[in-house]
Structure 1
Amino acid sequence: MESPSAITEFLTTRRAKLTPAQVGLPDFGGRRRVPGLRREEVALVAGMSAEYYKRLERGIATGVSEAVIDGVSRALQLDDAEHAHLNDLIRAANAGAHPQQRRTPARKPHVSEGLRQTIDAMSTVPVYVQNGRLDAVATNRLGRALFSEMLDDSTQPANAARFIFLEPRAQTFYRAWETQARQIVAVLRAEAGRSPYDRQLSDLVGELSTRSDLFRKLWGAHDVREHRAGLKAVHHPVVGDLDLTFQAMDLASDRGLQMIVFSAEPGSASHERMQLLANWAETNAPIRQ
């Protein structure tokens, strides 16, 4: 899915966000044909020749060293997720030039019995397991109840990106829907860099690009993000508004899967509503996803 042109698009969008002053360069004025830094300015700050940087931005990534990637990342002020994404794009471009180096696509994630037992035992907090495409792979009882709006989707497996962009209920469920939509696309964009030969991911991106103008616009921005920790503000149809924190953990024992655990601040209204949701789940929600 990701090609050498992805390097071009990613680096172009990153330098468009910066001004000479932001990277410590003087601005001598004059008309700029494109917003942000010129390629020569990126090369200067990165400590390389302009011609070398231009080749990299054209997607010619053979032989690019870690030092070069670090220099470009420093010049473009990339965060950790963006730095990792650039590494992934360069790796994918080189694998495309040398098909024998392509990584074999990962097998369909298997939820081990040990993982099932673990998430079922975490009965006081919602637990949700997803793969890199944001398919729902497993939940515990409370996680199933929390995300019932999405998991009840007739299209299986339920997918967070498909829910956000194609299901009108998502705009009520997520109280900061636009922010959530941007984050979802940024997470998918990072996964596309890591897994450039994932046909199911490519099909998902194609479907969403065709059916959602907003997704297509956000996808073209080439923003990337890791999904590790943060806040989730939702409106549950049974218990109302919930303000939850989450922690996401990659599962070493179940490769390709990420477990997300949600919690509410003790003593808060959200904590009380989570108790109500747990009571409701005991009698209404299926045990497993």
Structure 2
Amino acid sequence: MSNPLGDFLRARRTDARLQTEASRSGARRRTSGLRREEVATAAGISADYYTRLEQGRETHPSDAVLDALARALRLDPDAADHLHRLRDAHPGMLRPETVETPALDDALVARMTMLVDAVRPNPAYVLDRLSTVVAANPEGLALHEGLADLPPAQRNTCRSLLLDPRATSTFVEWEELARGAVAHLRAANVDDLRDPQLVALVEELSAQSPLFRTWWGGHLVQRRRGAVTHVRSADGTVAARRYEVLHLPEDGMRMTLWLPAL
């Protein structure tokens, strides 16, 4: 049975960046990160209870327990929120089969298209929860080289960043952007990690990108926010650009707007 909460706890517990006093003192350890007993002690819960959480035999811990685990695992705010949402989205009961996401409403696409056209000549695009392009202005499509040549249903920025080698040349801080794209993909789909469309995308990217497999398997979580990065144009010129992300939670989308860096 799927156990998203336990899988997340296990992945974060075994993160090699979680160093203990024992590992720093040179003591030999068979696993990286923290042992179950160490997490339980740091969180003030029994080792047996924590083990049941990881194994999926306990599926609805209290907010206080989750907050204590977030501190013990040194989770940032996005990951701590993700932990709570996993508990709420997967309460340990059988859920009905997920139905396929309905096609986008034409009126919604028209609204999003008006948004991205209004900010030209700044590159902009609107993405759904799978990072597939819902609407984009020409400058936004051009930012991800080759995206405009694909059928609309295949215009996915996460796929482009991970699988198109041109992305590593366009984006100077490519690894940071690609890692963030994977982390956002998990965060945006916490309410249903078994969704068939998500599963198909994850299987595709996992088969073709070792880095995606590593990052997805590490249960990285981070919601996209604004930042400054550097973009290389076709003539080799590098310019600092700032991207801002506007989340549209009611529609399950986000708009990314690229601006000149101040």
2:66 corresponds, among 66, 69, 73, to 69
2:162–2:212 Cα contact (<8 Å) kept: yes
Change (3 A) 1:239 1:264: farther
User: TM-score scaled to structure 1, two decimals?
Assistant: 0.77
Higher alpha-carbon deviation: 83-92 or 146-155: 146-155
Partner of 1:3: 2
Q: Distance in 2 between matches of 1:179 and 1:236?
A: 19
- Can you list the C-alpha shifts for 1:195-220, whole angstroms capped at 9, x where unaligned? 32321111011111112223222222
2:12–2:218 Cα contact (<8 Å) kept: no
Structure 1 consecutive aligned stretches of length 4 or more whose deviation exceeds 4 Å:
25-30, 102-106
Partner of 1:15: 13
Partner of 1:78: 75
1:260 is aligned to 2:256:
yes
1:130 is aligned to 2:127:
yes
Amino acid at match of 1:73: A
- Can you list the C-alpha shifts for 1:84-137, whole angstroms capped at 9, x where unaligned? 222233234325x2325x886654444343333233222242221101111111
2:179 corresponds, among 175, 178, 182, to 182
Change (3 A) 1:183 1:114: closer
- Can you list the C-alpha shifts for 1:48-83, whole angstroms capped at 9, x where unaligned? 111111111112343311111111111111011111
Q: Distance in 1 between matches of 2:226 and 2:148?
A: 22
Change (3 A) 1:28 1:257: same
Change (3 A) 1:48 1:103: farther
- Can you list the C-alpha shifts for 1:225-275, whole angstroms capped at 9, x where unaligned? 1111112322232673232111111115x5111011111135xxxxxxxxx
Percent of aligned pairs with the same amino acid: 35
Change (3 A) 1:64 1:137: same
1:240 corresponds, among 237, 241, 259, to 237
1:185–1:215 Cα contact (<8 Å) kept: yes
Backbone CA RMSD of aligned residues = 2.9
Partner of 2:207: 210
Amino acid at match of 2:10: T
Q: Distance in 1 between matches of 2:159 and 2:214?
A: 15
Q: Distance in 2 between matches of 1:49 and 1:157?
A: 48
Report which structure shows greater RCO (CA 8 Å, sep ≥6): 1
2:145–2:167 Cα contact (<8 Å) kept: no
Q: Please, which runs of 5 or more residues in structure 2 have no aligned partner? A: none
1:105–1:195 Cα contact (<8 Å) kept: no
Higher alpha-carbon deviation: 233-242 or 218-227: 233-242
When Rg is computed on C-alpha atoms for both structures, the one with the higher figure is 1
Q: Distance in 2 between matches of 1:19 and 1:63?
A: 28
Amino acid at match of 2:19: T
Change (3 A) 1:80 1:107: farther
User: TM-score scaled to structure 2, two decimals?
Assistant: 0.85
Aligned pairs for 1:45-194 within 5 A: 45-94=42-91, 97-99=93-95, 106-110=101-105, 111-153=108-150, 156-194=153-191
